[in-house]
Structure 1
Amino acid sequence: MLCEVDIVDAHQHFINLPDLAYPWIDNRPTALTALLPNYYDAARRYVPQDYRAQVDGIPVTASVACEFGAADGVAEAIWVQECADRVGGPDAFIAAVQLESADLAGVLARYRDLPVVQAVRQPLYWADDPAKRLGARGDYLSDPDWLCGFEKVAEAGLVWDLLVYDEQLPDAHELIAAFPDTTFVLEAVGWPVDLTAEGFSRWEERLGAVSRFPNVVLKFQGIALIFGTSLDAIGRWVRAAVGIFGAGRCMFASHYPIDHLLWDGETMVSTVEAALADLPSDEQALFFGETARRVYRLPAAGDPG
């Protein structure tokens, strides 16, 4: 158990039902139940107090909340800012954008007025298998209108959370190279689609290629969802990813409330800790907290900001 390490949870969600609408809850796309049969057990009101209750017992000192598919992304961000002002958390927020949208400039302007917003994202997950299509289209990375939208995000100085499967990573290289001053956070350990031995090798190769861009950081949310909860299930993936990127470019994350359907906080932390048992203490501090504080511009541990 990590009793003395400053843990920053770099990715968790809130659900503000019934005040906000969530199309994914109303429409129940099959891609989500294909991912986890009981996914919708988490489709209920989930606010900062609920999150704190689920991480009670582990030393989480800060958290980064992430948009969760609300119909009105700006309203979601405003509510998260109100939560941060009222209860002191979350410490940062990854807000929703649609880069091809005509009102993108207005949305970004609204986000500039919300100090909690430090990053934005848009789901790009696309695969040949329809059950794995979590994005709206498969051609965003080559769409001129979408790329023009990305220029506005870069100009705003926001972090970009990148949601792609590992097989999409080569298509993202040109975008990453074109914006060297923008930090790209590759979510879900570069989400490998194929978990076989051959898939592991291809994922390692693709992760190694994207790690050569110094403006890319890796986030470890959803590892229970993707790999399972045992040390045997997650160990080689976690160790390989940290070995490729280095702890200073890796961030621990819970992906709660979804991954709480699979493991509790103490099991999550102790299992990840066991996977990285050979990592020196200073590198564990980077992985579990310091990298996220740097990337999402959080105050240093113990500093009220």
Structure 2
Amino acid sequence: MRHYRLNWFFGIIAALLVTAAIVVPLVGRIRDEKTIILHGRMAESGGWTPTDLRAQVGKPLHLRLTSGDVMHSFAVGQNVMAPVEVVPGEFSEVTLTFDRPGKYTFYCTRWCGLNHWRMRGVIEVSGEQVEGKSQSPPLYAELGIDIDKPHPSKVTPAAPPSALEGERLLSEPDTKDIPLEYKTQEYYRAASPVDIWQDLRSEGELAVFSDQQIWNLTAALLRAQTAPEMLATGKRLYFENCAACHGESGGGDGVFADDLTNGDMPGMNPEPGHTTSAPVDFTNPETMLGASPALLQGKILRGGMGTGMPYFGPIFTEEQTWALVAYIQSFIIEMENQP
């Protein structure tokens, strides 16, 4: 009997050890891969809950997304992941894995109201820092451009500048000696359209051309710095992020334009003297021909302080910002290859 009891006792111990060997790693894995429920609500009602998430490099972050009011969507800035629909009363699941440490902004891509852009949160990813090139300051800062100051064009064309007409002029003998500097990316990003026009107007061999023809040459040089794919990307980003305020045709007449004109953000408490203002009209020659690509990129990156203009620095990649700039310029310049 005693021998039987010992066998029974050791059998139980062995079974417990086997169970522990299976369960303990499983529990650890479940703990490491726990799912976080992320609630989305309109900004006036709190936005995302929670707004701050943490993850580790190389380890999956599991999320279950749901909405407490209207349809939202979930996306991560500077990431190729397609937005995930967030439906009221339902759950959508997404798993994120990051290969670099840092802070990543998640946001809603559906225009759910005037304060839609405030639906943002941060994922702080920890891990070993990967060596790479240091991040340089944005071009507007390097050039010393005050992006809050008006930069009106003192000269405007009689008709919208045409890149197609400008390219035709570039094939004529009188334009063959145009300095190569005007055809570089560095020059294009730093110079406003009116700067380019004035530089071309000062070239002696171009004296035979009218002011409008010089504007057309300016348009051709701008178009040379774009491509159909670039404009297509810019158009998509514009309609997803800008059209609700600036309008589908860039006229500053989007669905929220009236609410932004000299008003306060509903549900928010702005600082004294900080009110919203009417969205910029991208079809206004005086305004847009005086704005360089670097200035426009700066506005996109940093936003308009005290105006209601959101900042998109943590949302777009650098390539996306230049694509958006090129598309915005197409409202005032006839690019011809616009999608």
TM over 0.5: no
Structure whose CA Rg is larger: 2
Q: Give the TM-score taking structure 2 as reference length.
A: 0.21
* Higher RCO structure, 1 or 2 (CA under 8 Å, sep 6+): 1
Structure with the larger helix share: 1
Q: Give the TM-score taking structure 1 as reference length.
A: 0.22
